[in-house]
Amino acid sequence: MVKNSHDKKTKHMKYFLDFGGHHGEGMMHFIDEYKIDKDWVIYTFEPNKLTFDVLKNIKYKDCNITPINKGIWVKDTVLTFKPETTSESYGGNEDGAGSTFIDLNDWNIKNNGNYGAGTFDKTYDVEVVDVSNLIRGLIDVEFLLVKMDIEGSEYAVLRKMIDDDTISIVNDIYVEFHDWAMVSQTENSTNELMQEITNKGVNIKKWI
């Protein structure tokens, strides 16, 4: 049970939540950028089982890294995951960066000249974690850094965080937005979402 997790007198823990760990590229970038050390707690989430096989073995700068083979969502449940199978020139594996939980009718990944995108021929079920419960469960938060690269799910997840105000627990958040690859989202909807989060006093930046 979290006890007084947001009382300024008890805050002393620094956390880095890495949503969409892939092969650890983003995680290592932010470890360097924020000079994260062993005193931080890092949770890196990756739903793709092939990608997770790489991520789970990453050790970096003596950091306290906990890899978790689950996705991030608006509630605790099981969702159908669509792994992107890359072309043979990229290895032909089901570990493409465009792997997603969202409906493929909304996932126009080949848009904007991205003709190197792979295919989505297989699916499997993956556990997903309620983002708000996760954040509320962090103990004695002094500083919370979030990197979010979750292939279209960011819109639902961020709106949930705004609605229940768990976004206000975050200090800095970096998001790779995928409006360019989605039918349901636009650059305007992204900018409006970012402004809502900024208005909450949270430092939000587009990543990549």
Each residue's pLDDT tens digit, 166-198: 999 999 999 999 999 999 999 999 999 999 999
Each residue's pLDDT tens digit, 109-150: 877 666 567 789 899 999 999 999 999 999 999 999 999 999
Q: Which domains does the chain have, with CATH numbers?
A: 13-72+131-206 (3.40.50.720)
pTM, whole model, 2 decimals?
Answer: 0.91
Each residue's pLDDT tens digit, 83-103: 998 877 667 788 888 899 999
Please report the pLDDT score of residue 5 as a whole number: 42
Is the separation of the CB atoms in 177 and 190 below 8 Å? yes
Please report the pLDDT score of residue 110 as a whole number: 72
